[in-house]
């Protein structure tokens, strides 16, 4: 089996600034107070993923999940270590990312699909399927600036899911939107998994992670705390009891 992703000692630093204006910074320095703090959002993380694996990424808010996903996607580069990937990467790592608020949903569809690497012929061939999946109706021809977060998620996921990719990334795909659409997204992701593509799925939902993934990485304050079986990962995080919505979605998949 071919190797899909190799992450070696990946570390990403962020700087938290305490003051916004030059005056505030000057006053703080004059009083000997710190003006900023640098911390590791991802701290010396290493793992290897084989082609076709379905990987869940779990952890508390601020543990580095989205940062790690953005580095795998190439949106960010690690400050230390390395991340190597094989093949085309697609996915939804931020609701509405890359959308231009003054453009219509349809115009953003063409623009976003092109950014994700789809050719003009590909877009035309898949246009009807993307539009049907998004279920935005006449709203598709209105400016994206007027969309709700759920509508942006619909359009973004509909585009990403139709890109022919080797690796698919999904960050909190169940966090926005209504239940029927979330169920449809999960079903589509199961098709991706069965197709042999590598899947990375970030979620707080234990039921959907167990249903979707064959391996889970747990991040704790930027470090890799667990790497193994999904059920054991849920127990490790003490997420053993899901809420009713999780149960309903898992049962509908």
Q: Is the residue at 18 inside a domain?
A: no
Q: Is the residue at 1 inside a domain?
A: no
CB-based contact 218:230 (threshold 8 Å): no
- Quick: pLDDT tens for 163-195: 888 999 988 765 556 778 888 888 888 888 888
Number of structural domains found in the chain: 1
- Quick: pLDDT tens for 35-92: 667 889 999 999 999 999 999 999 998 899 989 999 999 889 999 999 999 998 988 7
pLDDT of residue 36: 65
CB-based contact 226:217 (threshold 8 Å): yes
CA distance 61 to 48: 24
Domain CATH code at residue 210: 3.40.50.300
Q: Is the residue at 137 inside a domain?
A: yes
pLDDT of residue 146: 92
CB-based contact 215:229 (threshold 8 Å): yes
CB-based contact 133:127 (threshold 8 Å): no
CA torsion, points 123, 125, 129, 135, in degrees to nearest 10?
50
CB-based contact 14:50 (threshold 8 Å): no
Q: Is the residue at 29 inside a domain?
A: no
Domain that holds residue 168: 51-252
- Quick: pLDDT tens for 98-144: 789 999 999 999 998 998 888 999 999 999 999 999 999 999 999 99
Residue 105, helix vs strand vs coil: helix
Q: Is the residue at 203 inside a domain?
A: yes
pLDDT of residue 22 exceeding 80: no
pLDDT of residue 21: 74
- Quick: pLDDT tens for 204-243: 888 889 988 999 999 999 999 999 999 999 999 988 765 5
- Taking Cα atoms as reference points, which of 46, 89, 65 lies closest to residue 173? 65
Q: Is the residue at 10 inside a domain?
A: no
Q: Is the residue at 11 inside a domain?
A: no
């Amino acid at each position: 089996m071919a190797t899909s992703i190799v992450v070696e000692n990946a570390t990403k630093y962020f700087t938290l600034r305490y003051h916004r204006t030059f005056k505030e910074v000057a006053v703080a320095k004059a009083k000997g107070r710190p003006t900023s703090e640098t911390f590791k959002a991802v701290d010396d993380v290493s793992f290897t993923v084989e082609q076709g694996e379905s990987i869940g990424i779990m952890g508390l808010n601020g543990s580095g999940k989205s940062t790690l996903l953005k580095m795998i996607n190439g949106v960010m580069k690690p400050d230390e270590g390395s991340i190597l990937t094989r093949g085309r990467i697609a996915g939804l790592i931020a609701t509405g990312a890359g959308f231009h608020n003054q453009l219509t949903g349809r115009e953003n569809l063409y623009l976003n699909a092109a950014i994700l690497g789809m050719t003009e012929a590909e877009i035309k061939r898949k246009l009807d399927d993307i539009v049907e999946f998004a279920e935005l109706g006449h709203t598709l021809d209105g400016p994206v600036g007027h969309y709700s977060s759920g509508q942006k998620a619909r359009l973004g996921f509909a585009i990403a899911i139709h890109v022919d990719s080797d690796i698919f990334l999904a960050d909190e795909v169940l966090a926005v939107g209504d239940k029927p659409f979330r169920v449809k997204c999960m079903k589509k992701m199961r098709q991706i998994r069965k197709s042999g593509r590598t899947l990375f799925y970030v979620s707080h939902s234990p039921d959907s992670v167990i249903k979707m993934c064959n391996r889970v990485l747990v991040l704790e304050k930027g470090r890799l705390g667990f790497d193994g079986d999904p059920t054991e990962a849920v127990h490790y995080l003490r997420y053993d009891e899901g809420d009713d919505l999780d149960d309903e979605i898992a049962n509908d998949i």
